[in-house]
Amino acid sequence: MKDIYKNLISLVKKNNNGKICYVDNKNGIEFPLFDFPLFLLLAIDDEEEFVNECFVKILDRHINEGNLHLIDKLKKKKVTKEKIISILYSSKECKGKGINLNFDKKVKK
Amino acid sequence: MIYFDISIIDKARVNTGIQRVAKEILKRFIVKNEIVFKIISYNEIEHIYKAIDNESFLDFLVCKYQKEYKFKYLEEINIKDFKKNDIFFDIDAYWNSLLKRSYLYKILYEKEIKIYNIVHDLIPIKFPKYAFENTLRNFIINLAATYKYSYLTIFPSRSTEKDYLEIAKQIGVTNKLNTIVIKWGSEITKNISDEKHFLLNEKYILFVGTLEPRKNQYLLVKVFEELSLKYKDIKLVLIGKEGWNNEKFISYLKNHELLNDKIFWLNNVNDSLLIKFYNNAYINVYLSEYEGFGLPIAESLNFNNITITSRNSSMYEVGKNFADYIKYNSFNELYEILNLYLEDSELYNSKKQYIKQNYKPYNWDMTYQFILNSLRKKGNLNVIKNDKLQFVFISIDKNNLIGTIKEIDKNISFVKEYIIVTKKEFIKDFKTIKSKNKISIINENNILGKYAENFEKRDHVSKNWILRCSLLNIDFLDDEFIMLDDDNRPLKKINIEHFIKDNKYNAYYFYDLLEWNCFNTDYDIGQHNMKKILDNEGYELLSYSSHKPQIINKKIFKEMVDKYFQIGLKLPIDEWSMYFNYAISTYPFLFNKIKYDTLNWPSHPSNWIQMYIPNKYEFENFYNTNFQGTYDEKIKQKQKELLLYLENQKLDEKNSFYYKKYNMVHGSLVYKKDNKKIILCNIPYFLYAKKGTWKKISINYKALNLANQDVRIGYYINENMGAFTNLKINDNFIDDISEFNVSCGSLQEEIYNILIDVFIDNKPVYGLNSKYLIKLIVEK
């Protein structure tokens, strides 16, 4: 399914003059938002992708303008990945949606 | 157990088209009570499904405040509780759920639970610029899961089904996709309330739809600015909420000098007032750039409104010949068609009457019935899978038959016997035909019974219909057999999987019936008749007379014959398309729909506009005049012949952009003679054609007071007479589509002036004084 997903993204991009909004990392799409493995988020090296992925997995939406500074802060090491997750995960918005993270180191797929 | 997931209806309580469809279908499942099912909603906080009481769901449908309604929940259902062979039916806007299908479907699939999907449209994939970004993100994830895991995917239109299959090809989906088209009901209860609004007493053009770029209200406003200079009494009413990403137009509208004087925007109209606006509209316009179905078109036609809409995606499937189409979405087209209806009251009244007398919306009971069919297990029917099959011909051409049997003997190893139905006088001669397989020859009179009388007087299509239906009277006819004509020759080795694969019958189509625009032969008339009959039943509308052998299930064939035989006695219809469309709509799991693979169908690419091009050729529609040679030589020759016509079509696609952008389209060409009138629409200012071809474009024509007269479209090329296109006019008012043909066979590479004229009983209406000029650019 990951291949289909990847190819769909490419097609949408092609149909949109090469542009596309942030889309979920393919490695996480088969996991539920109610039990999403933390390690998959932490495994993302690129700071911008990490913050974007945190938003779509913890809040099921794109990052808003007011939070774009988190990317910059992460790049400058003024904030840690764990802290960003903690901020989003403890938000009222996240709790209202019923999204849960799985903190186990290894999650059975 | 069947589970219908309505989580989004439960969560969001909105009433978009998707929710309306789900509600209409589920209402019928509850009320008719013909199958066991549960309506379920996923609780995103508790992470569990809850069954909704059916009575509670019915209460919800009729309650005044649906947003506040509290469903009565019954038992809780864990995802793990679904069992093998259960059906999980995603009937709602499932891509908006937090329970992502990329996760859910995988679990269901592994437990062998069958997943049913409705794909309403593919706007986010085809036109991402029109999709809200978060919707796009979720849509992609969930559509990928649908491609991977769906057991049956349902579409409201052939157009959406085609898009889905085309995208599958583009993204490399390799698993088998089961798809079916089930049209949405669109009848509405016309309860006219006593609500009042000052605009209801005015003469107004109506546009209903969210104000968003995809709906293209901007074009209508620009056209209306011109029209309002000429028609002082006409108003424009836009009904719809402000949509996403449309600030520029909203600002333009809000600051428009005609706003609240001649242009009105109502963004909060309830359903009963909306009905009144539809009911009182002078003309309705809907210019969407893409639809999965196009309910607003059906709604408007329900009120017998003149409905002007764009010609793309599924629009024509809904509006057919009752709506008026702006093929290129150009200013001229919209201005002139509106202008015509505003200034020509005879045309206006005739079209209204035509809609009133003939338009029949699909109904929700029909939609329900087809969905119910798809949930029942193959209607207790299965593919029989005989090792050897009877090949059943009807023929009066011995030489053709000998050649075809020779090729079948050479290339097909699973022939049980040939059954040849022929005229009495040919039987003796046909008995001399030799084959390694058994041949049984049948006197057609023996199976025609009472229909043998006057049989010869019937047209070719009707003869085939009666004779093929009568095959059921052959007492040794097997439950499964191959039906074919005496000129359907295999070009290479064919194995039985060509006809039966994965426990399903292969059904080979070559055209979408709705797009068949020729009126020259009995065959053409048969296609048009069948289109109406099948459409009235809500069946799929593909043309299966692919001029190749096809496998038939006798029981299903008999069902179809029992139902439609009498109709075929009165009107020419063809047995292939009647059978397959009936069969596929009734038993969707028994069939694979496959693009045809017949060489020389059509015999020449100039016969009609090519809709599907075979990827490979396995059979040949044999004519003595066909190009002779090896398989490779024949294919090469055909491809060479086809290439120029495909290039012609590509040129049209490319030029469509310029027609719209630079407004290079004639709005309407009006021909008047006494009280007779012909109006031609959708003709561009210029056409490109490859040298040596016939240029073909589909155009709309409207005819008044010309019933049963000989009417043709013709043209003068550099002042010399060109080719003609026959129009079929059998009533006092006709609105239809025809292919318009321009012969470029003997033209050199040059630019030509083409004057378009109409000929009534062989007499030109304008002759060389016609003011309708187009440029024809013939290129190498």
- B393-418 pLDDT, tens digit per residue, is 999 999 999 999 999 999 999 999 99
Nearest neighbour of A32 by CB, restricted to B103, B126, B129:
B103
Hunting for tokens 């959708």 — which residue is that? B682
| Amino acid letter, residue B408 | I
In this predicted structure, the answer to whether residue B380 has a pLDDT above a threshold of 80 is: no
How far does B330 lie from chain A, in Å, by closest CA?
Answer: 22
Name the domain count of chain A: 1
At B311-368, the pLDDT tens digits run 999 999 999 999 999 999 999 999 999 999 999 999 999 999 999 999 998 999 999 9
Does residue A4 fall inside a structural domain? no
Contacts of A29 in chain B (CB under 8 A): 100, 102-103, 141, 144
In this predicted structure, the answer to whether residue B223 has a pLDDT above a threshold of 90 is: yes
Say if residues B564 and B577 touch (Cβ distance below 8 Å): no
Say if residues B319 and B354 touch (Cβ distance below 8 Å): no
In this predicted structure, the answer to whether residue B31 has a pLDDT above a threshold of 50 is: yes
* CATH class, range B661-779: mainly beta
Q: What dihedral do alpha carbons B394, B396, B398, B400 form, nearest 10°?
A: -70
Report the relative pairing of strands B324-326 and B389-394 from DSSP bridges.
Answer: unpaired
Q: What dihedral do alpha carbons B539, B540, B542, B544 form, nearest 10°?
A: -60
Say if residues B774 and B684 touch (Cβ distance below 8 Å): yes
Q: Give the integer Cα–Cα distance in Å for B159 and A48.
A: 39
B564 is written with which tokens? 């439609």
At B271-307, the pLDDT tens digits run 889 889 999 999 999 999 999 998 899 999 999 999 9
Fold of B389-598: Spore Coat Polysaccharide Biosynthesis Protein SpsA; Chain A (3.90.550)
At B763-776, the pLDDT tens digits run 999 999 999 999 99
- pLDDT for B506: 96
User: Contact A62/B134, CB-based, under 8 Å?
Assistant: yes
What is the C-alpha end-to-end distance of chain B, expressed in Å? 63
Residue B425 per-residue DSSP state = G
How far does A62 lie from chain B, in Å, by closest CA?
Answer: 7
User: Exposed/middle/buried for B201, CB within 10 Å: 0-12, 13-18, 19+?
Assistant: exposed
User: Contact A62/B106, CB-based, under 8 Å?
Assistant: no
User: Exposed/middle/buried for B193, CB within 10 Å: 0-12, 13-18, 19+?
Assistant: exposed
Q: Give the integer Cα–Cα distance in Å for B579 and B621.
A: 21
At B640-699, the pLDDT tens digits run 999 999 999 999 999 999 999 999 999 999 999 999 999 999 999 999 999 999 999 999
Q: How confident is the model at residue B58 (pLDDT cuts 50, 70, 90)?
A: very high
- B141: nearest CA partner in chain A: A5
Q: What dihedral do alpha carbons B78, B79, B84, B86 form, nearest 10°?
A: 90
B758 is written with which tokens? 């109409």
B247 is written with which tokens? 């600030």
Q: Give the integer Cα–Cα distance in Å for B318 and B362.
A: 9
Between the CA of residue B199 and those of B194, B211, B241, what are the distances in Å? 14, 20, 18
| Amino acid letter, residue A39 | F
Residue B131, SS3? coil
Mean pLDDT score, A5-27: 95
How far does A38 lie from chain B, in Å, by closest CA?
Answer: 16
| Amino acid letter, residue B231 | Y
Does residue A84 fall inside a structural domain? yes
Mean pLDDT score, B520-547: 94
- pLDDT for A78: 92
Fold of B2-181: Rossmann fold (3.40.50)
User: Contact B173/A24, CB-based, under 8 Å?
Assistant: no
In this predicted structure, the answer to whether residue A27 has a pLDDT above a threshold of 50 is: yes
Nearest neighbour of B128 by CB, restricted to A4, A20, A56:
A20
- pLDDT for A109: 46
- Residue among B69, B9, B67 nearest B39 (CA): B9
At B180-191, the pLDDT tens digits run 999 999 877 666
Parent domain of A72: 22-102
Contacts of A3 in chain B (CB under 8 A): 172
Q: What's phi and psi for B512, nearest 5 deg?
A: -90, 120
Query: To the nearest whole percent, how much of chain B has pLDDT over 70?
Result: 99
Q: Give the integer Cα–Cα distance in Å for B234 and B457.
A: 56
Q: How confident is the model at residue B760 (pLDDT cuts 50, 70, 90)?
A: very high
In this predicted structure, the answer to whether residue B386 has a pLDDT above a threshold of 90 is: no
Does residue A41 fall inside a structural domain? yes
The chain B residues in contact with chain A (CB within 8 A) are 44-47, 98-100, 102-104, 106, 124-129, 133-134, 136-138, 140-141, 143-145, 147-149, 167, 170-173
Nearest neighbour of A1 by CB, restricted to B124, B129, B144:
B144
- pLDDT for B384: 74
Does residue A12 fall inside a structural domain? no
User: Contact A11/B167, CB-based, under 8 Å?
Assistant: yes
How far does B767 lie from chain A, in Å, by closest CA?
Answer: 46
B438 is written with which tokens? 């058994």
Q: Do domains B2-181 and B198-360 have the same CATH topology?
A: yes
Mean pLDDT score, B240-253: 92
User: Contact A97/B172, CB-based, under 8 Å?
Assistant: no
In this complex, how many residue pairs, one in chain A and one in chain B, have their CB atoms less than 8 Å apart?
91
Say if residues B435 and B485 touch (Cβ distance below 8 Å): no
Nearest neighbour of A1 by CB, restricted to B102, B134, B170:
B102
In this predicted structure, the answer to whether residue A106 has a pLDDT above a threshold of 80 is: no
Contacts of residue A14, defined as CB under 8 A and 6 or more positions apart, other chains included, come to none
User: Contact B102/A97, CB-based, under 8 Å?
Assistant: no
Does residue A80 fall inside a structural domain? yes
* Mean pLDDT over the full length of chain A: 90
B174 is written with which tokens? 């390799």
Contacts of B147 in chain A (CB under 8 A): 4, 8
Q: Domain locations in chain B?
A: 2-181, 198-360, 389-598, 661-779
- pLDDT for B176: 87
In this predicted structure, the answer to whether residue B102 has a pLDDT above a threshold of 50 is: yes
A40 touches chain B (CB under 8 A): no
Residue B479 per-residue DSSP state = S
Say if residues B667 and B681 touch (Cβ distance below 8 Å): yes
Mean pLDDT score, B172-179: 91
Q: B454 vs B441, which has greater pLDDT?
A: B441
Does residue A69 fall inside a structural domain? yes
3-state secondary structure B429-458: HHCCCCCCCEEEEEEHHHHHHHHHCCHHHC
Q: Give the integer Cα–Cα distance in Å for B634 and B627.
A: 6
A78 touches chain B (CB under 8 A): no
Which H or E element spans position B299?
A: helix B295-302
Mean pLDDT score, B83-110: 94
User: Contact B128/A12, CB-based, under 8 Å?
Assistant: yes
Fold of B198-360: Rossmann fold (3.40.50)
Does residue A39 fall inside a structural domain? yes
In this predicted structure, the answer to whether residue B82 has a pLDDT above a threshold of 50 is: yes
Which H or E element spans position B114?
A: strand B114-118
Q: Bin B313: left if φ > 0, else alpha if -120 < ψ < 50, else beta.
A: left
Q: C-alpha B218: how far from its chain's center?
A: 28
Weakest mean pLDDT among B196-200, B520-524, B660-664:
B520-524
Contacts of residue B540, defined as CB under 8 A and 6 or more positions apart, other chains included, come to B158, B180, B181, B534, B581, B584, B585
Can you spell out the DSSP letters for A9-55?
HHHHHHHTTT-------GGGTTS-TTSEEHHHHHT--SHHHHHHHHH
Nearest neighbour of A16 by CB, restricted to B46, B128, B138:
B128
Nearest neighbour of A4 by CB, restricted to B134, B137, B171:
B171
The pTM of the full predicted model, rounded to 2 decimals, is 0.93
